[in-house]
Amino acid sequence: MNLRDEKITCIGVVGSGAMGIGIAQVAAVAGCRVFVYDNNAAAMERARTNLGSALNKLQEKGKLSDAGAILNNVSFVDSVAALKECGLVIEAVVENPDVKKNVFREVEKVVSDACVLATNTSSLSVTSIAAVCAKPERFLGIHFFNPAPLMALVEVVPAIQTQPELVEEICNLMKDWGKTPVVAKDTPGFIVNRLARPFYGEALRILEEGIADIATIDWAMTEIGGFRMGPFTLMDFIGHDVNYVVTETVFQAFYYDSRYRPSIIQKRLLEAQWLGRKSGKGFYNYAAGTAQPEPIKNVTLGQQIVDRIVAMLINEAVDALYLGIASAADLETAMTKGVNYPKGLLQWCDEWGADYCLRRLDCEYNLYHDDRYRASFLLRKHAFENKKFL
């Protein structure tokens, strides 16, 4: 199986939600013929309208020469049988393993043996989904980030059954589509959703302890830490129906490791259906005319908040490197391209010094006696040996 020789130009996308139609747009703009299948006709009609609007806006901005021609390359089909000529089929349906498995059972009945099958899951086991396929060796994860046309990063995740050569071929295909691929081991959360958990989790812990309020924590992480969004603004932006569920999924998948423990505060928002921007209320109230809370701009407090959260992020990145989740280069790329961190976490560790990071974590561990603050063996080793990661 060699994608470069086969020159895949026919792509199938199952699911016409925001992610599915975003992937379809990326492939179509790259010159591919795209077939979008969804069993919800109304959803497909909305997707067709949204795609047309998005392409027209790009043409108005001078980023496309002919939006109509690209739109004509996208067919919205009402039967999975219409995907039979595709060389690659990407599933982008609800994050439910049973639903995804059923999709591939049906797709595999109609596509050729040479067709590559891929899931866009953000946190489920790629290996588990691959196992339902008759030819699991042609299956892998291709995880785009939302919105797919704008976000450069794509996580390529081989299952344990995946033919090794397929990984490089898919990475090359993603580059052809103008994306930046990184390769991640099939572990919960892959790279980004694993490494980013402390950005939310530790901020929530600080809030729970009454150390600072949401506005102050967000101010500290943006103004002092250099992040584009504070954790509470970002959780509201993502939506608690997505962000909380990913946290809970990762927590369960890691056998309830305390590093990934969800927050009751965020769970209550989800239960109240205060989902963030999409519902008009979350940590913040987005109703027109509502005054937003003002932060306490105490630089000393702000620096303590940044140091605590960033130390946890660094530790997660170092542990991912130690466990072979990805290469150092891919870990850095994932966090700068996938969630727009001001710098890679390994670079941040090198600038701070592994010894400082270790002392910061050990201080929290000695204070709380909570296993969430345990330092990675590799961080401890680098601190003792005065070594850098990059």
DSSP bridge partners of 118: 90, 140
Helix or strand run (H / E) with residue 180: strand 180-183
Do 255 and 128 lie in one domain? The reply is no
Q: What is the pLDDT of residue 7?
A: 74
Of 125, 154, 183, which one is at a domain's C-terminal end? Answer: 183
Domain of 28, CATH number, reads 3.40.50.720
Query: Cα–Cα distances in Å, from 323 out to 106, 186, 327, 374?
Result: 35, 12, 10, 15
Of 138, 158, 183, which one is at a domain's C-terminal end? Answer: 183
d(CA 152, CA 156): 13
Do 69 and 92 lie in one domain? The reply is yes
Do 67 and 201 lie in one domain? The reply is no
Residues annotated catalytic, as ranges? 122, 143, 155, 193
Of 138, 154, 183, which one is at a domain's C-terminal end? Answer: 183
Identify the CA nearest to 117 among candidates 144, 93, 80, 86: 86
Q: Give the β-pairing of 74-77 and 88-91.
A: unpaired
Helix or strand run (H / E) with residue 157: strand 153-158
**Single-letter code of the amino acid located at 68:** G
The set of residues, in sequence order, having a beta carbon less than 8 Å from that of 366 and lying 6+ positions away, is none
Do 22 and 171 lie in one domain? The reply is yes
Q: Are the C-beta atoms of 191 and 326 separated by less than 8 Å?
A: yes
Task: Give the full edge-to-edge strand order of the sheet including 10-14.
Answer: 74-77, 33-37, 10-14, 88-91, 116-119, 139-144, 153-158, 180-183
**What is the value of pTM for the model shown?**
0.93
Token pair for residue 365? 């561990």
Answer yes or no: is 189 within a domain.
Answer: no
Q: What is the pLDDT of residue 6?
A: 62
Domain of 239, in residue numbers: 194-385
Q: What is the pLDDT of residue 4?
A: 44
Token pair for residue 101? 């498995």
Do 214 and 116 lie in one domain? The reply is no
Query: Cα–Cα distances in Å, from 76 out to 44, 45, 83, 276?
Result: 7, 8, 11, 31
User: Which sign does the torsion angle of CA 40, 46, 52, 56 carry?
Assistant: negative
Q: Give the β-pairing of 153-158 and 139-144.
A: antiparallel
Do 217 and 198 lie in one domain? The reply is yes
The set of residues, in sequence order, having a beta carbon less than 8 Å from that of 159 and lying 6+ positions away, is 126, 127, 129, 130, 136, 139, 140, 141, 186
Do 173 and 233 lie in one domain? The reply is no
Q: Are the C-beta atoms of 164 and 343 separated by less than 8 Å?
A: no
Q: Are the C-beta atoms of 101 and 119 separated by less than 8 Å?
A: no
Do 164 and 201 lie in one domain? The reply is no
d(CA 182, CA 134): 27
Token pair for residue 58? 């790009």
Q: Are the C-beta atoms of 95 and 245 separated by less than 8 Å?
A: yes
Q: What is the pLDDT of residue 123?
A: 82
Long-range interactions of 372-375: CB distance < 8 A, separation 24+: 372/201, 372/258, 372/259, 372/261, 372/312, 373/312, 374/259, 375/315
Answer yes or no: is 188 within a domain.
Answer: no
Q: What is the pLDDT of residue 42?
A: 93
Q: How many domains is the chain partitioned into structurally?
A: 2
Do 307 and 160 lie in one domain? The reply is no
d(CA 310, CA 179): 27
Stretches in the chain below the pLDDT threshold 50: 3-4
Token pair for residue 160? 């344990």
Helix or strand run (H / E) with residue 339: none
**Single-letter code of the amino acid located at 238:** I
Answer yes or no: is 240 within a domain.
Answer: yes
Domain of 263, CATH number, reads 1.10.1040.50
Helix or strand run (H / E) with residue 158: strand 153-158
